[in-house]
Amino acid sequence: MLQKRIDDHAPPTRESMREAQDIFYKHLKRVGLKHTEQRNAILETFLETRDHLSTDELFRLVRKKDPKIGFTTVYRTLKLLAECGLASMVPFPDGMTRYEHQFNRRSHHHMVCTECGASVEFFSPEVTKIEEDIGRKYRFDATRHNFQIYGVCEDCRKKQRRA
């Protein structure tokens, strides 16, 4: 799947990786699970990529580091990363749920092509302001939101005109 990205976020530094690990380890302790090297490899692999990853895609990447890591471990670890705020689920029009990392990322949004599945990340202070205004109105301290616009990308519109 073609993924067009507008992403101004730098790759994780060693310090930010340690911060993310601390968040993850505290969450594991809170839910009564142990820190393992396999979970750590999954976390590092996930944070090192800039893509929206399905569980299958992350599994393939993680297996390159450690072929003993199983699919179920990747699946469960992704759920744990979402629980502690390091990842978020992004539904795509192909029915596939993908994950993206949220650690130290500014709020962003997605435009998704319903024809080819391409996605574009964009940043909008207007949407952020709306989130804050609605939070104040309903007395919520909004911590995150999910905003996606679905449509047809320029490439697919050109193909449709030619057909």
| CATH number of the structural domain spanning residue 119 | 1.10.10.10
At residue 12, what is the residue type? P
Instruction: Tell me whether residue 1 is in a domain.
Output: no
Instruction: Tell me whether residue 32 is in a domain.
Output: yes
Report yes or no: 144 and 88 within 8 Å, Cβ to Cβ. yes
Query: In which region does residue 129 sit, left (phi positive, over 0), alpha (psi from -120 to 50) or beta (all else)?
Result: alpha
Q: Model confidence at 141, in pLDDT bands (50, 70, 90)?
A: confident
Q: Token match 């944070």: residue?
A: 47
- Number of structural domains (the chain) is 1
Q: In whole angstroms, how large is the CA radius of gyration of the chain? A: 18
User: What's the chain's average pLDDT?
Assistant: 84
Which run of H or of E encompasses 91? strand 87-91
Domain housing 150:
14-162
Segment 58-79 mean pLDDT = 95
Q: Model confidence at 103, in pLDDT bands (50, 70, 90)?
A: low
9-30 pLDDT, tens digit per residue, is: 566 778 888 998 999 999 999 9
* Angle between helix 71-83 and 55-65 (nearest 10): 110
Query: Per the structure block, which two tokens stand in for 134?
Result: 């609605």
